[in-house]
Amino acid sequence: MGTKEVEIVVYGAEQLCASCVSQPSSKETHEWLQAAIGRKYPNQPFTVTFVDIFNPSEEEDKQKFSQRVIEEDMFYPVVLVEGVIVGEGNPRLKTIFAEMEKHGFQPA
């Protein structure tokens, strides 16, 4: 099965956004997604990257999107699968899995 590696990026911050106090932190969401996707799609290549919107990596696309999250006052964490926004604030696994399957992922 020639599935290419899919990149899932979780944009968030160490501190919770003001309206997200009752929700898991961006870091917790990152870890939860990694575990959930790994269980659903074992032995299929993916990476889950956490980007701190207030301290983004050197990659220009990640810096630009971090800026957009701040400027547009998006609810974070914001989750992207291969550049497509699949979740904002409290991401739903169903939506994320549907996007993964568009990239050829097969559930276990």
Evaluate whether residue 25 is within a structural domain.
yes
Evaluate whether residue 36 is within a structural domain.
yes
Task: Kindly report the CATH number assigned to the domain that includes residue 11.
Answer: 3.40.30.30
Evaluate whether residue 71 is within a structural domain.
yes
- Angstrom CA distances, 95 to 6, 45, 65, 69, stand at 15, 19, 20, 20
Note the pLDDT of residue 89: 87
In this predicted model, what pLDDT tens digit does every residue of 24-44 receive, in sequence order?
A: 888 889 999 999 999 999 999
Q: What is the mean pLDDT of the chain?
A: 90
Evaluate whether residue 42 is within a structural domain.
yes
How far is Cα 93 from Cα 97, in angstroms, rounded to an integer?
A: 6
Domain of residue 82: give its range.
Answer: 6-102
Evaluate whether residue 1 is within a structural domain.
no
Domain count, the chain: 1
